[in-house]
């Protein structure tokens, strides 16, 4: 014990010294000592901690080397959703965004924007409590992500403990994990030497490294991090501007990008974009555009959010990269709703950071317009650096005797006569679930994460199940046996048991997820939620008329007709009945079956912990009554629901004169007679 007492002071001194060197290296790009000297300090610390393991602190620099492998990643719910950004691809589109901002704010003066590079990496959320990193999570679907805390701890540029004393009691710092180009090149060189497959681009390398179940592997990867914003904030007053927040992040020990600038008028906004576009090839990391954020936080709060993105920020993407290649063939794919889509099979071409081999031609009209033929040389680009597309045919290189592709009159999967409704560009196979191709795609959709969320039911397994006639409808999934699953390729007894358990777990769902899983045309996740909240039960929805459906937010005449048509098909109703008989269940909300919206246009914010229900449940019930539930308090907020341990949102609500409701007030509000 005395021996450990003797080394405790030295351990603390080494930790402080190494952490300072880490900050110099990762944050300021200004190392003060050679790598060999740094390694010597680290080895000394490791030796001392080995002698006195009781003195090992979880924030020690030695704890960045990784821990034991995980079986899987835990799911983490984001208290404040991690939203995406809308995109602009031209000066005109950015100017239209700026006009929307100024019009909504009612301002004639120029808005001040903070401009930063759009890093091509992986968004990450870092939660700190009393200055200590307690959790790290990926963006995921924006509502929930994967817990990658142990992996993030191996990234030297991310502080395990915040610097200084004046930091929030609880703060969620958001930023981008990326792989610098030099590190990426070295990683691929090492892979080639060892005979391993190299990574395609730095983003894939960063994402793959961060999602390793063995954090010791992550520790060997050259990952970096830049902070760019915050989510949860408690016990601290937000500064007035985004720029001031970056200064605070820097003071707390976070690396922030050194390419930030603040501009006001359109001329300078465009100049900032051009400056970064010209610097793009010189930067030590990849960027795919520029992000503009309204600098003033009070204006950000006033602008608010749409369903998937903030109104106060936009990503201006760089022009897509283009390459020439050849069309080796054209065939058609049959989608979940029977859509017949022509697809060009290309000579593989590396463009925009990925190798492109297949490109959709969308529909027959689009294919005819571009006149794409087998044997043509075409220009391929990744629109917005995301979706590959054929821009045009290089007519000068067209070989003789090429012929226009003949669009099929019969479905290639089942032979049914292809139909094309008047006014629609898409041709479809009308056979529905009697078409094997549509069955496969329907099952894949039904079991996907946002639908029934059947863990382990991948595309390959679905294809085998359909090909062997074990599954013809989604309901058949719940009748599968261990013996049937064990007979599939690469499906051992343990995997079969796991899949059966996942299928059983998926039976308990929600009406929203079930409606989305059914795959009704034009009914996505948001519309499914609107239908569930409005009608409250499946039976009420099935009895609804077109007029009833058109009263639902997000539902117009076309979607209403698709819903009616779906439930009119006897086969679909039989599948639904089979699913319910096999145990698929949910709790009907029945909050407002008549669509009465007693809280219509009222804006609520939820904060703190509730005891009678989760915040998500409270949000769903408020939305069912027509309320809008947002994540931040502003002068437009009507009510703040304050649970236990409410923080800065409560203080802000009181300062703005917003009505504050305790949990009991909320329960009484939800129990009031409707209508």
Return the HEC string of 318-386.
Answer: CCCCEEEEEEEEEEEEECCCCEEEEEEEEEEEEECCEEEEEEECCCHHHHHHHCCCCCCEEEEEEECCC
- Bridge-partner residues for 331, per DSSP? 343
Distance (Å, rounded) from C-alpha 173 to C-alpha 648? 16
Neighbours of 264 (CB within 10 A): 13
Please state, in angstroms and rounded to a whole number, the distance separating the CA atoms of residues 135 and 82.
15
Is 118 designated active site? yes
10 Å CB burial of residue 410 (0-12, 13-18, 19+) is exposed
Residue of 118, 153, 317, 513 with catalytic role = 118
Chain centroid offset of residue 425 CA: 30
Count CA atoms within 13 Å of residue 547 on its CB side.
1
427-428 and 339-351 beta bridge pairing: antiparallel
What tokens does 485 get?
């699953």
Which positions ≥6 away from 45 have C-beta within 8 Å? Answer: 11, 14, 15, 18, 60, 61, 62
Q: Are 220 and 214 in contact (CB under 8 A)?
A: no
- Cα end-to-end span (Å), the chain: 72
> Could you write out the three-class secondary structure of 159-210?
CCECCCCCCCCEEEEEEEEECCHHHHHHHHHHHHHCCCCCCCCHHHHHHHHH
Mind spelling out the 3-state secondary structure of 367-404?
A: HHHHCCCCCCEEEEEEECCCEEEEEEECHHHCCCCCCC
Is the CB of residue 128 less than 8 Å from the CB of residue 158? no
- What tokens were used for 120? 């091509």
Instruction: Give dist(CA 181, CA 199) in Å, integer.
Output: 12
CA distance 376 to 390: 11
Strand partners, 333: 341
Q: What are phi and psi of 75, to 5 degrees?
A: -85, 135
Q: CA-CA distance, 184 to 203, in Å (whole number)? A: 9
CA 54/CA 500 separation, integer angstroms? 44
User: How many helices (DSSP H) and strands (DSSP E) are in the chain?
Assistant: 24, 21
Q: Are strands 170-178 and 122-129 parallel, antiparallel or unpaired?
A: antiparallel
Q: What tokens were used for 378?
A: 């075409």
CA–CA separation, 273 and 291 (whole Å): 9
Distances (CA, A) of 121 to 138, 181, 467: 11, 12, 38
Which residues have a catalytic role annotated?
A: 118
């Amino acid at each position: 014990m005395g021996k450990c007492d003797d080394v405790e002071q030295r351990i603390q001194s080494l930790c402080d010294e190494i952490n300072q060197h880490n900050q110099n290296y990762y944050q300021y790009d200004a190392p003060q000592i050679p790598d060999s000297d740094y390694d010597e300090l680290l080895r000394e610390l490791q030796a001392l901690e080995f002698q006195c393991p009781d003195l090992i602190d979880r924030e020690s620099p030695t704890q960045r080397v990784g821990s034991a492998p995980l079986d899987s990643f835990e799911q983490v719910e984001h208290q404040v959703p991690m939203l995406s950004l809308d995109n602009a691809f031209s000066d005109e589109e950015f100017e239209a965004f700026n006009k929307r901002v100024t019009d909504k704010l009612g301002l004639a003066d120029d808005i001040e924007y903070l401009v930063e590079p759009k890093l091509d990496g992986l968004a990450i959320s870092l939660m700190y409590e009393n200055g200590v990193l307690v959790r790290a999570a990926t963006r995921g679907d924006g509502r929930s992500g994967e817990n990658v805390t142990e992996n993030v701890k191996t990234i030297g540029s991310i502080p395990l403990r915040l610097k200084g004393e004046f930091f929030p009691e609880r703060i969620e710092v958001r930023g981008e994990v990326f792989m610098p180009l030099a590190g990426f090149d070295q990683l691929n060189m090492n892979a080639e030497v060892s005979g391993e497959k190299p990574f395609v681009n730095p983003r894939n390398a960063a994402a793959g490294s961060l999602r390793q179940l063995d954090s010791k592997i992550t520790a060997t990867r050259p990952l970096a991090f830049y902070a760019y914003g915050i989510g949860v904030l408690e016990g601290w007053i937000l500064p007035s501007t985004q720029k001031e927040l970056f200064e605070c992040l820097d003071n707390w020990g976070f690396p922030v990008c050194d390419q930030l600038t603040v501009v006001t008028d359109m001329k300078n906004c465009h100049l900032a974009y051009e400056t970064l576009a010209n610097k793009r090839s010189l930067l030590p990391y990849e960027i795919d555009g520029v992000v503009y954020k309204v600098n003033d936080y009070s204006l950000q709060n006033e602008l608010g959010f749409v369903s998937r993105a903030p109104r106060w920020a936009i990503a201006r993407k760089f022009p897509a990269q283009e390459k020439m290649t050849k069309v080796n063939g054209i065939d058609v794919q049959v989608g979940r709703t029977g859509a017949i889509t022509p697809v060009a099979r290309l000579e593989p071409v590396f463009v925009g950071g990925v190798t492109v081999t297949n490109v959709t031609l969308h529909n027959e009209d689009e294919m005819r317009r571009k006149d794409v033929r087998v044997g043509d040389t075409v220009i391929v680009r990744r629109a917005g650096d995301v979706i590959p597309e054929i821009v045009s045919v290089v007519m000068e290189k067209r070989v003789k005797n090429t012929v226009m592709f003949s669009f099929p009159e019969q479905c290639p999967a089942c032979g049914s006569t292809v139909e094309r409704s008047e006014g629609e560009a898409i041709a479809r196979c009308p056979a529905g679930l009697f078409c094997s191709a549509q069955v496969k795609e329907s099952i894949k959709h039904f079991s996907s994460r946002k639908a029934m969320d059947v863990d382990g039911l991948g595309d390959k397994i679905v294809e085998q199940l359909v090909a062997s006639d074990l599954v013809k409808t989604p309901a058949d999934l719940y009748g599968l046996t261990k013996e049937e699953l064990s007979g599939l390729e690469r499906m051992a007894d343990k995997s079969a048991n796991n899949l059966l358990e996942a299928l059983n777990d998926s039976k308990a769902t929600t009406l929203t997820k079930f409606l989305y899983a059914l795959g009704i045309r034009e009914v996505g996740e948001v519309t499914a939620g609107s239908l569930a909240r409005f009608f409250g039960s499946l039976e009420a929805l099935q009895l609804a008329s077109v007029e009833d459906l058109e009263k639902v937010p997000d539902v117009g005449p076309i979607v209403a007709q698709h819903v009616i048509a779906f439930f009119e098909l006897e086969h679909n109703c039989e599948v639904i009945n089979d699913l319910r008989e096999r145990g698929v269940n949910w709790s009907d909300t029945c909050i407002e079956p008549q669509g009465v919206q007693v809280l219509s246009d009222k804006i609520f914010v939820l904060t703190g912990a509730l005891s009678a229900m989760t915040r998500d449940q409270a949000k769903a019930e408020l939305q069912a009554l027509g309320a809008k539930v947002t994540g931040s308090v502003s002068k437009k907020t009507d009510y703040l629901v304050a649970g236990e341990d409410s923080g800065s949102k409560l203080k802000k609500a009181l300062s703005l004169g917003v009505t504050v409701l305790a949990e009991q007030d909320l329960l009484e509000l939800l129990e009031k007679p409707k209508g």
